[in-house]
Amino acid sequence: MKGSKSYGRFICGSLAASFAVSPFLSLTVLADNISSANFDLRRQVVKLTGIMEISSFRGQITRGDFAKMLVKASSYRENLPSSSVSVYADVPADHPNAVYIRVAASQGWMSGYLGGNFKPEEPVLYKDAVKAVLTLLGYTDEDFTGEMASSRISKFNHLELNEDVSCQADEAITETDCMNIFYNLLKTKKKDSNEIYGTVLDCELNSDGEINPISILEDERKGPILVHKNFSVAQSVPFDTEDANVFLNGVESTLAAVKASQQQSGFAVLYYNVKSKTIWAYTTTGWDTKDDSGNNTYVLIKGEIKNIYYQSTDVMTPTSVRIEVDEANSDDDFDTSEDVDSDGYLNISLDSSELQYLFSIYGNLEVGDDVVLVCSRSGSSYTAVDAIEY
């Protein structure tokens, strides 16, 4: 074990992605009057909700891909047809976006051209994106008068759906435009409702009127999963990890680095988010010594349960546990000389009702069990966030 401690590298918040500004934000983005922090917030929200992921700021969006985004931004995402049929002459049943085009067309979000074509590979125009988004909000043709495209754009602007978007009606929109349009959609109220559209995707607003990405993560985060060194991290989550976002001990990383740290530590504790294809792995080694800021990170403690303590006024609800720490398989900054009691054991608080139940007479953890505790830390005080029987 190390003799010194890096207290700053432990927990500084809830289990969530670190929203650091992406290093590849271009000056072009800043020149468009979008602050880097605001841009990254919006990028993270549309990614976490599963609507889209930015790959090229100025890249144009095809009509087929836009249909897919519309479906991903709707309740139909959870109820897609298991097979597709050819709806348009130029969209065969095996087209990668055939199912999404079929749904988008059937719901009136998008329409085809004369001759029965959809033109899925052509860029989507701003006026078509405006119509689609307003339709998602519940607006119909009856809500507009005069020249329809201009009337819709006026409504679009009135609802501030054009925030950070500057396009002409017949202009092809970019990925950045798309990101801003869908983000604005999420925080806009549905027609004749006080409910924001984002509730469809379990979004909520912060006090400043912006979508809260942390609430998305907390609602959709799954785990913890204990993965021993002889088992695959990639096969422990229910999605293809080829393009997954990976964090190791709170720092952006790779699956290869997680595997190496897992092998060295003997195990890893995983959390994941299916929508954003994000994996948060925690091990007892493999910390990035160049970045010990500790954003959203936890300390792992492995050991044997020696005592379970209760309040004198409530003998049914445990408040803390006493662990004989397995130093060789606990966090590599753990220092027994400073943290353990006179008997050589570590006391860890139980604050959540889930953990209190787990260690109660009704739960499945008891004295003598080996356990891995995911803990937050303040000085020499530890509070369990999660527990997994080892």
* Residues 287, 332 contacting (CB under 8 angstroms): yes
Highest mean pLDDT among 180-184, 233-237, 292-296: 180-184
* Residues 20, 390 contacting (CB under 8 angstroms): no
| Other CB atoms within 10 Å distance of the CB of residue 71 | 22
* Residues 302, 390 contacting (CB under 8 angstroms): yes
* Per-residue confidence band for 82, with pLDDT thresholds at 50, 70 and 90: low
What's the token pair of residue 113?
A: 């051209």
* Per-residue confidence band for 14, with pLDDT thresholds at 50, 70 and 90: very low
Whole-angstrom distance, CA of residue 272 vs CA of residue 20 = 19
C-alpha closest to that of 50 among 35, 37, 68: 68
Is pLDDT of 3 > 70? no
Which residues on neighbouring strands pair with residue 60, listed in sequence order? Answer: 174
Q: Work out the average pLDDT over 330-354.
A: 77
What's the token pair of residue 298?
A: 């936890």
Task: Give domain limits for the chain.
Answer: 27-214, 222-282, 299-389
CATH of domain 299-389: 2.40.50
Tens-place pLDDT, residues 90-115: 999 889 999 999 999 999 999 999 88
pLDDT for 233 equals 92
Q: Which has more pLDDT, 289 or 356?
A: 356
- The answer to pTM > 0.85 is no
Tens-place pLDDT, residues 217-238: 666 678 899 999 889 999 999 9
pLDDT for 337 equals 59
> For 54, phi and psi rounded to 5 degrees?
-70, 125
Q: What's the whole-number average pLDDT of the chain? A: 83
Q: Work out the average pLDDT over 146-163.
A: 96
pLDDT for 20 equals 36
Is pLDDT of 8 > 70? no
Q: Which has more pLDDT, 156 or 212?
A: 156
* Per-residue confidence band for 87, with pLDDT thresholds at 50, 70 and 90: confident
Region class of 218: left (phi > 0), else alpha (psi between -120 and 50), else beta: alpha
